[in-house]
């Protein structure tokens, strides 16, 4: 989904539309990072809790 919105942003000439599409793409990226963190937590919950103070959301 992120790639779709970035591609569409490259196709429009209107700066407002481009900005909106890029913001949506950024939000889709954050959703992807969140889902990767959920998958990691479910796959290795003990590791996640051991490193909780280091934060796993740096990529957001």
Task: Look at residue 33 and tell me if it is in a domain.
Answer: yes
Q: What's the pLDDT score for residue 40?
A: 84
46/52 Cα distance (integer angstroms):
10
Encoding tokens for residue 25?
Answer: 């793409």
Q: Domain of 33?
A: 2-54
1-60 pLDDT, tens per residue? 999 999 999 999 999 999 999 999 999 999 999 999 888 888 877 776 665 555 555 544
**Is residue 7 domain-resident?**
yes
pLDDT of residue 24: 98
How many domains are there within the chain?
A: 1
> What is the per-residue pLDDT for 44?
79
**pTM higher than 0.85:** no
**Contacts made by residues 34-42, CB under 8 angstroms, sequence distance 24+:** 34/60
pLDDT of 43: 83
Predicted local distance difference test score (pLDDT) of residue 55: 58
């Amino acid at each position: 989904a992120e790639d779709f919105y970035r591609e569409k942003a490259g196709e429009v000439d209107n700066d407002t539309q481009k900005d909106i599409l890029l913001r949506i793409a950024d939000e889709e990226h954050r959703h992807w990072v969140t889902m990767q963190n959920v998958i990691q937590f479910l796959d290795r919950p003990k590791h996640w809790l051991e490193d909780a103070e280091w934060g796993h959301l740096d990529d957001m």
